[in-house]
Each structure stands twice: as C-alpha cells, then as structure tokens.
Structure 1
Amino acid sequence: MEFEEYVSARGQELVRLGFTVSGDYQRAEDLAQTALMQAFRSWRKVRKADDPHHYVRRILVNEYLSMTRRRSFTEAPTAEIDPQSTVPDPATGIVDSDDLWHALQELSARERVVLVLRYYQDLDDRTIAELLGIKPSSVRSTASRGLATLRQTRQSNRVDERLS
C-alpha cells in the first residue's frame, strides 16, 4: 500500500481517534497530521509492518500522551464558541452523551486513552499494552481506575443509562 492510499483509507479514522482522546477537533487534526508526517518519514518501514494502521495509531497515541506532558497542553478552550464558526462534530456517532463526554475529559490522559482504545476502538488489552508500551496488567488497572472515576461522576451526573 502506498502512503497516499493509506491516507485516503485511514486519514479520517485517525482524526476521529485523535478527537476521541483529546476532546478537541483542532488538536485531533494536529495529532493525525503529526502521526501521518512521522509515518511518511519512515513509510518503507511502516509499510512492511504486520499492521501499518496499528503502527500509525501507536504514533498518534504516543504523540497525544507526549503532548499532555507539555505545559502548553494545560491551555483550556473557551466554553463560548461562535456558532457560525463551528465544525460538525466528527465523533457524533462515537460519543452520544454530553455527560459521558465531559466525564471522559475529567480522566487522566492515560486513563482516557486506555478507555477509548478499549471501548471505542474495540482493542484488546494486549494490543493496547503494545500501543502504550506497558504491560497488559497495567492496561487493566488503568481501565479499572478510569471506570471507577466514571462511576463516581455518573452517580453525581446521572449518566447510568448512557454508560451501559
């Protein structure tokens, strides 16, 4: 598969993954663009991988986690958005609950990534562990902590039905 074919086939999926983990459309586009740029630089190596999409997805996730460690990541987008300048939400089909979406944003970056990869990308613990460079037991404990936080938020925000 050539790089252009890969971008056509999987580019929007990378943007959706970036949006789901970051909660910001512009940041999602930046994450996807950065992942694709890094993949392009070593496309011969990426193309020869067993699963090139897994390879690029790992680049995106690592870039997001790296971004959250930087001080500039703490900037928060304003709650007031001009309705004429908004872009349609590409994750409408993924995240259908505003309460759940806000609860996900309260999780740590790693917890959010693990839960998104597990429940929205439907990856198993072993694959998530490979993506993050951690042990599968760490994936399970991180997911457990993230779900416990969501349950606490759910109790206070009444999103029981939407999490099931």
Structure 2
Amino acid sequence: MSDVDAEFVEYARAAAPKLRRTAYLLCHDWHLAQDFTQTTLAKLFVSWRRIQRRDSPDAYARKVLLRVFLDHQRRSSSRELVVARIAETEAPADQPELRLTLLEAMGHISARDRAVLVLRYWEDQSVDTVADLLGISAGTVKSQSARGLSRLRRLLGTTELALRD
C-alpha cells in the first residue's frame, strides 16, 4: 500500500463515523446512511491526491456527502418504504423520547430543508458555510432555516419549541 493510500485509509477510519451520523440525520435510515457514507468515501478516494492538499478534507467530504444525499433524493426510482429501523446507537440519557420525536419529525420535511437544518443546528455550521456546501445564497439558507423550523414546530404541535432560529 502506498503512503497516499495509507493516509486515505487513516482519514477514512477517522471520518466515517461522523459522516455516517450526518448522513443518518439527513436520511433517517442507518442502512442508507451507511450507503451514503461508503459512496462519499469512494468518491473521496478517487480524488484523494488532490483533496489532501486542501485546507479541509472534512469540509470537502461533507460537501460530497450532501451531494450524494440530494442526488439520491432527486431520483424517483430511489424511493423505498422502510418497514423496520434498527437503532444502532444509544439515545442520550436525558429525554430520549424527545430526540426520537424530533428525528421522526425531521423525516417529514423536504430533503433540502432537512439538509439546511442538520448543517445549521446539528453541526453548528455558519450560514455562509451552509450556503457554500449546498451551492445556494446565504439568504436562501436563512429562509430555508426559518421555513424548516416552522414546519418542525407545526409537526411537533407547538410554536414554543426550544429550537433556536
């Protein structure tokens, strides 16, 4: 194995868990999240020599993951009916039912709004970073954030939900 390949393997081992968690938040399906993570890592491997010279391979990986997710959402033939979900990680000890309720509600908003909310509020990315990752304007990120949060509040039955705007 070459040094470049070894560097990629080391990067992939470190980055895969975070990519998979982000993918799960986007698609709400652990198996599909694993597929998205594998596709992302395969795309990174093909261009690794170029990518490793960048300042942040993590930002590039997130961008690739988002594109993989959004491409999947655009394909009408990719729709599957999930009949059973297997939780592979434990919920936090404090209010696990709230977390499950929120994750379920996230599955009922559009893919683009979900991507914006995950990046802005789960990964705590700036408006400009989210805009760059999704290839949209900062104003669009703000409006989609507001629309997505509003939709979540309606789905959860309250306008007093403690999500920050």
Q: Greater CA deviation, 44-53 or 96-105?
A: 96-105
Question: Scaled by the length of structure 1, what TM-score is found?
Answer: 0.86
Mapped to 1, the partners of 2:138 and 2:159 lie a distance apart of 28
Contact 1:21 1:112 in 2 (8 A): yes
The code of the aligned residue for 1:62 comes to R
Q: Is the 8 A contact 1:99 1:159 kept in 2?
A: no
- Summarize the Cα distance change of 1:161–1:142 in structure 2 as closer, same or farther, 3 Å threshold: closer
**Which ranges of 4 or more aligned residues in structure 1 deviate by more than 2 Å?**
158-164
Distance apart, 1:40 and its partner CA? 0.3
Structure 2: tracts of 5 or more residues without a match: none
In structure 2, give the amino acid aligned to 1:26: H
1:20 positional shift: 0.8
Partner of 1:89: 89
Give the RMSD, CA atoms, in angstroms: 2.1
CA distance in 1, matches of 2:100, 2:160: 13
Equivalent residue in structure 2 for 1:62, among 48, 57, 67: 67
Deviation per CA, 1:119-163, whole angstroms, max 9, x where unpaired?
A: 1111001001111111111111111110110111122xx695664
Superposed counterparts of 1:64-83, under 5 Å: 64-78=69-83, 80=84
Asked if residue 35 in structure 1 is aligned to residue 40 in structure 2, the reply is yes
* Correspondence for 1:3: 8
What is the distance in 1 between the residues matched to 2:135 and 2:163?
Answer: 28
Alignment-mate amino acid for residue 24 of structure 1: D
With over 3 angstroms needed to count, the CA separation of the structure-2 counterparts of 1:22 and 1:16, relative to structure 1, is: same
Deviations 1:21-70 (A, max 9, x none): 11000100000100000000000111111210000110000110010011
TM-score by length of structure 2 reads 0.85
Measure how far apart 1:11 and its partner are.
1.0
